[in-house]
Amino acid sequence: MKIWSIFKRELQSYFYSPVAYIIFSSFLFVVGYLFWVVMVAQKLATLEPFFGNAAFVLLLISPMLTMRLISEEKRSNSLELLLTSPVSPAEIVMGKFLACFFLYLVLIVVSFKFPAIMYAYAQNLDWGPIISGYIGLVLLSAAFIGLGLFASSLAESQVTAAMVSFAGLILFWIIGWVKFAVEGPIGEAISKLSLIEHYSELVKGVVDSGNIIFFLAFTVVWLFLATRVLESERWR
């Protein structure tokens, strides 16, 4: 009930401001443009480039969608209201996470038009990797939101929150390159933290439980940290 209230308010506030509309249209425009260019140039019936592009554009817009989640409440003192209500920090974080996640799901559902367009030209589409790619995209969104929500809980300024989450996302995007510099098991272990490695396996059609667990764990860890930050707010 309380999570639902927070979820509803959060989702409403996305649509009260132009943010959601701008982000939606720019995502669809950029991804659509890349989809068109690649399809015309390559003439291949595969959605692999689409998933790569979609994930990267999502990475660029994600900080914009998550930055206000908690920092806005801090700046406008409404956090005082939430924390003096019988709501736990975990409920606040969960409600906000779900609201943002719902927004991403809508975006992802709208992007079903790309496989549909492709299907119009090539009936011999391989649906397996497309479905697993979409599973990857959904999991990746959750991971992006988790990190962004944590960044937002740290800062009172939305710009700072956006910078922190952007830096964090980029870092976890390319951390896999460590394995080229550091030989042996340590390099391997660090590069396992890379979001893109797990994502690209899903896009290729490899639905390994390890990949799914990685994304879920990644999300939960950041959400947990955000909860702790909110709790600590009370003890300062």
Cα(215)–Cα(146) distance, integer angstroms = 10
Of 20-28, 102-110, 204-212, 228-236, the segment contacting other proteins by CB under 8 A is 228-236
Q: Write down the least CB distance from residue 223 to other proteins, Å.
A: 19
Binding flag, residue 232, other proteins (CB under 8 A)? no
Cα(74)–Cα(142) distance, integer angstroms = 23
Closest to 107 (Cα-Cα) out of 61, 52, 163: 61
Q: Write down the least CB distance from residue 66 to other proteins, Å.
A: 18
Of 84-92, 98-106, 157-165, 175-183, the segment contacting other proteins by CB under 8 A is 84-92
Interaction residues for other proteins, span 1-20 (CB under 8 A): 1-2, 4-6, 8-9, 12-13, 16-17
Interhelix angle 195-203/127-154, nearest 10 degrees: 160
Binding flag, residue 80, other proteins (CB under 8 A)? yes
Residues near other proteins (CB under 8 A), total: 27
Closest to 121 (Cα-Cα) out of 12, 47, 181: 47
Binding flag, residue 78, other proteins (CB under 8 A)? yes
Which residues contact other proteins by CB under 8 A? 1-2, 4-6, 8-9, 12-13, 16-17, 76-88, 234-236
